[in-house]
Chain A
């Protein structure tokens, strides 16, 4: 119990940066979704860390937040994958830079 809060936060920030990089750089929509998922979990790690190190850990606020957020993340992943499959069926590709039919 000697690891300070800052270490967790740095880990979460790193995790977020990796996820953001994946979401921005990858061309495949599935990998973009994985990147988003990493950023999501980095945020969840922050919730847990702040909860663990706050003065009243018995209130379980951070834990509840993380649980809700994981449930929402699962739903979001399902919707995201469903969209990707629908687009793939339509366009025969999963490359994000080719999804440009909304271009003005």
Chain B
């Protein structure tokens, strides 16, 4: 534990170095850039695994801090920490990054800016790993902003498309609103505790519990910090950027906007969990529950394969928040980990589908891909069942039931539990709709008919992730709560009786999921070849509700009408103020200066220049007169000498008389 902490910095530094070198490479160095990025993330993965095994053996927590800035008598310290929470997160991030890097080699093979892509990806991985091991809220915030930057660069990777450029800007600006709260919360926390280190031998802001008296920040501070998580993790009301972020390349969506970066908000709350006051945890639960249902209902009416997954991600992030608020760190983090695997799997599967159908993203124009893309279909089905929470063999089932169980025992209100159940029903419904539309039935277009399976560089990561999506669940079942006890450092035992306590909720959720799958399969199973032109079955049944869902509850339009318009009006007002008032003042000052300058010039020209001119004229005139003597004619000089000599002679003779 103490030995590995010294080398923990390698984890973010290796990809950062790779990104730096790749940035300097010429564009044709495709193999080298991909090799550098994959090699660097492999190093990070190995370090993460060693760190993880160290926490398995030793447990507890190790930190390494250093002084970063000194001003006056105070200093700002940064550092990194190794504890179960960070270790499990870093293994997950490094593993998913590694698989997605490999997948990207196939997905981006035809892109001209392959090198730039890997540079950004490696940069993102560095920032994300830095965030995971950060032992200071400040370092956390720095890395938090860096992953935001990487996300901006990667969403806007195809910046030639106006929609991608707009989506990148939207993502950056919307998350910035949340970050403002985060920053304010951080400053207030520093004012209150005098340190931003998480753990510092009993002096860190999360350590106070050990020193006596649980250190809980005020509700205001913890809610401000939660603002950052709301922005980054796409919770209501700042969720609008995440679906638009799907403009980026699909590996980016899988890595950043499904598995890792958007989960950073959840990780932030898990990290500062000791600071969260009970009231703010209630807010977290409510926001999470509302987001879970809200986003899941929108996903029902979307047709873009990636947008469905994006809303699904928003919804699942809501589940994680709900789990954190109602159940604690372990519940939220368990769903975060399982979700990272199966959502990355789903996005990469979607990427494979899009790739196979020649860049088609509309699920109505697909169909029948089951036979043409067997590996993609099999892995996608695993991911879909994990996301829906199909019982016993899929990870999503265990992690989602842990959340539902936690909300069931939540004393404040029963509503989040029912919202969670509704979300689970909707999730199963829209995922079945998507899978049926994409993989079953008959091909709706020629592109779908001529779809082809992706190369093995893309399918192998899919298979690995599919295995993980199944396996990850078994580490946190109620009977064998290894994951929970690992995170909390408590002993655990294999106890089948605990399983029976959870059975009623499991049965309830299983019933809902199965019902949803069959309902959706029955509605969409009859898809004909003209699906692309036909109305959605739900649309014919309930056109008003469907339109509301399809337009995402008009949240974007609402923001356009209020926040954006307000900003525009304010900008116009500022523009007017700038032009008329401030510019007027500036112009008045400039006119005054000009007048003074003119006065100055006339004084200069008439008085000072005049006297100098007169002086120089005199000197020049006298010089002109004198220069007549110096005409350069030697003989004239001689003549003058001769004449003067004669005159002198005459004078002498005259004088001698």
| A101 in the interface (beta carbon within 8 A) | yes
B631 within 8 Å of A by Cβ? Answer: yes
Contact B631 A24 (CB under 8 A): no
Q: Are B642 and A102 in contact (CB under 8 A)?
A: no
Q: Which residue of B lies closest to A25 (CB)?
A: B635
- How many residues on B have C-beta within 8 angstroms of the other chain's C-beta atoms? 12
| A58 contacts the other chain (CB 8 A) | no
Closest B residue to A100 using CB positions: B632
- Chain B residue numbers with a CB within 8 Å of A24 are 635, 638-639, 642
B630: CB under 8 A from chain A? yes
Q: Chain A residues near B630 (CB, 8 Å)? A: 102-104
Within the assembled complex, what's the spacing in Å between the Cα atoms of A9 and B425? 147
Does A99 lie within 8 Å of B642, measured CB to CB? no
From A97, which residue of chain B is reached at the shortest CB distance?
B633
Contact with B along A76-104 (1 / 0, CB 8 A): 00000000000000000000110111111
A32 within 8 A of B: yes
B631 pairs with A103, CB closer than 8 A = yes
Report the minimum CB–CB distance from B86 to chain A (whole Å): 91
Report the Cα distance A6→B301, complex, angstroms. 144
Is there a chain A Cβ closer than 8 Å to B634's Cβ? yes
Please measure, in the bound complex, the distance between the C-alpha atom of A32 and the C-alpha atom of B637, giving whole angstroms: 13
The yes or no answer to B73 lying at the interface (CB within 8 A) is: no
Q: How far is the CA of A60 from the CA of B418 in the complex (A)?
A: 147
A20 touches B632 (CB 8 A): no
The proximity string for B residues 606-641 relative to A, scoring 1 for CB distances below 8 Å and 0 otherwise, is: 000000000000000001001100111111001100
For B639, the chain A residues whose CB sits under 8 A away are 24
Residues on B with beta carbons closer than 8 Å to the beta carbon of A23: 635, 638
Q: List the B residue with the shortest CB-CB distance to A104.
A: B627
For the complex, count residues of A whose C-beta is within 8 A of B.
12
Q: Mark A23-36, 1 if CB is under 8 A from B, else 0.
A: 11000000010000
* CA distance in complex: A23, B638 (Å): 8
Q: Looking at the assembled complex, report how far the CB atom of B431 sits from the nearest CB atom of chain A, in whole angstroms.
A: 103
Name the residue on A nearest B634 (C-beta): A96
Name the A residues within 8 Å of B627 (CB-CB): 103-104
Q: In angstroms, how far is the closest chain B Cβ from the Cβ of A70?
A: 22
Taken together as a complex, chains A and B put the C-alpha atoms of A96 and B636 apart, in Å, by: 10
User: What residues of chain B lie closer than 8 Å to A101, measured between beta carbons?
Assistant: 632
**Is the CB–CB distance between A102 and B632 below 8 Å?**
yes
B626: nearest chain-A partner, CB-CB: A104
- Could you say which residues of chain A place their CB within 8 Å of the CB of B632? 99-103
Q: What B residues does A96 contact at CB under 8 A?
A: 633-635
Q: How far is the CB of A10 from chain B (nearest CB, A)?
A: 15
- Are the CB atoms of B635 and A97 closer together than 8 Å? yes
Q: How far is the CA of A99 from the CA of B633 in the complex (A)?
A: 7
- Give every chain B residue within 8 A of A102 (Cβ-Cβ): 630, 632
A100 to B634, CA, bound (A): 9
A20 lies within 8 A of B635 (CB): no
| A20 and B642 form a contact (CB under 8 A) | yes
Q: Which of A32, A103, A104 contacts B635 (CB 8 A)?
A: A32
Whole-angstrom CA separation of A24 from B638 in the bound complex: 7
A41-98 residues with Cβ-Cβ distance < 8 A to B are: 96-97
* Most A Cβ at <10 Å: residue of B626, B627, B633, B639: B633
B653 CB to closest chain A CB (Å) equals 14
* Complex contacts, A99 vs chain B, CB 8 Å: 632-634
Interface residues of B in 221-237 (CB under 8 A from A): none
Identify the 7 closest CB pairs spanning chains A and B, nearest first. A104-B627, A103-B632, A100-B632, A102-B632, A104-B630, A103-B631, A24-B639
Q: Give me the interface of A with B, judged by CB distance under 8 Å.
A: 20, 23-24, 32, 96-97, 99-104
18 sample A-B contacts, Cβ–Cβ < 8 Å, listed by A number: A23-B635, A23-B638, A24-B638, A32-B635, A96-B633, A96-B635, A97-B633, A99-B632, A99-B633, A99-B634, A100-B631, A100-B633, A101-B632, A102-B632, A103-B627, A103-B630, A103-B632, A104-B623
Given contacts A23-B635, A24-B638, A32-B635, 9 further A-B contacts (CB under 8 A): A20-B642, A24-B635, A96-B633, A96-B635, A97-B633, A99-B633, A99-B634, A104-B626, A104-B631
